[in-house]
Amino acid sequence: MDSVGLINKNKNKVFNIAIIIIAIIVSLNIYKKQLAKIDSLKASIAEEEKKNRTLDNIGKLDAKINSYRKLLPKKESGTSINDINNIARDTGIKIMSIKPSGEETFPDYTKYVFDLTISSPDYDSLAKFINTLEVNQAVYMIDVLDIRSASYNKEKELNANLRVSAVAMLE
């Protein structure tokens, strides 16, 4: 009767301790699940912040691209030929021949290539022509330059072959 009496006497205490232990186990399981959800949410937040930074960078790059688009005119090869002729006339260069040598189309722009044969009275005029061409608002690049002295003339006259590229934005 000792042990049975002791159990009967403390039956409520044992039952309460068992319920408390079960409640603690259930609470720990709920806590672990909630902690896993919190970690998952923290990972999602970090991933979303990374996406936001990437989108901000894309926005900044898009703004830069749009600013470059404003700099590059939308034009055709005929406009480039007129520009080159005007620059040559203004710098004292004679264009002996100008020949379109094709175009290369890229996703955002087109590159028009021209082969020029020119005559210059001296190196200074030739340098001024090239400089004026390359600093023009429209984008021109000198890809090839071959200079030779005019042997039939005793003056400083120079002949040169140039390959000029003009860059134009696509519509």
Homologous superfamily assigned to 77-169 = Ribosomal protein S6/Translation elongation factor EF1B (3.30.70.60)
> pTM score, two decimals?
0.55
- CB-based contacts of 114: which residues, under 8 Å, 6+ apart? 77, 80, 81, 84, 98, 99, 100, 101, 163, 164, 165, 166
Ordered per-residue pLDDT tens for the chain, 171 residues: 577 777 677 778 878 888 999 999 999 999 999 999 999 999 999 999 999 999 999 989 888 877 766 665 556 657 788 888 899 999 999 989 888 888 888 887 888 899 999 998 888 888 999 999 888 877 888 888 888 876 655 567 888 999 998 887 765
pLDDT at 66: 74
